[in-house]
Amino acid sequence: MNIPPTLIDPAFHLSGRSVLKSWHILFRERAKLAMNPQSHAPAGRGTLIPIGGAEDRRGQRRILSRFVELSGGKQARIVVIPAASTIPDELGLIYDTVFDELGADETHVINVWRRADAEDPTILTHLQNATGIFISGGDQVKLVSLVGGTLLGDQILARYQAGAVVAGTSAGAAALSEHMIAFGRGGGVPSFRMVYLAPGLGLIEGIVLDQHFRERDRVGRLMTALTFNPSLVGVGVDEDTALVIHPDDTCEVIGSGSVTVVDARDLAYTDVYKVKQNEPIAMFGMTVHILTDGCGYDLRTHQPRQPIAKESTEGTG
- DSSP letter string over 232-280? SEEEEE-TTEEEEE-TTSEEEEEESSEEEEEE-TT--EE-TTT--TT-B
98, burial (CB in 10 Å: exposed 0-12, middle 13-18, buried 19+): buried
**3-state SS assignment for residue 92:** helix
239 is catalytic: yes
Going by C-alpha positions, the residue among 151, 200, 194 that lies closest to residue 171 is 200
170 is catalytic: yes
Measured CA to CA in angstroms, residue 11 lies from 31, 43, 230, 252 at distances of 22, 27, 18, 31
Buried b (16+ CB within 10 A) or exposed e, 178-217: bbbbbbbeebeebbbbbbbbbbbbbbbeebbbbbbbbebe
Choosing from 24, 126, 179, 212, the catalytic residue is: 212
Neighbouring residues of 246: CB distance < 8 A, sequence distance ≥ 6: 47, 252
106 is catalytic: no
Look up residue 309 and give its DSSP letter: P
The single-letter code of the amino acid at 295 is C
Look up residue 177 and give its DSSP letter: B
Give the separation between CA 168 and CA 286, rounded to whole angstroms: 27
Choosing from 170, 177, 191, 258, the catalytic residue is: 170
Choosing from 178, 239, 252, 258, the catalytic residue is: 239
Going by C-alpha positions, the residue among 191, 181, 188, 111 that lies closest to residue 152 is 111
Give the separation between CA 149 and CA 24, rounded to whole angstroms: 8
Instruction: Give me the active site residues, please.
Output: 170, 212, 239
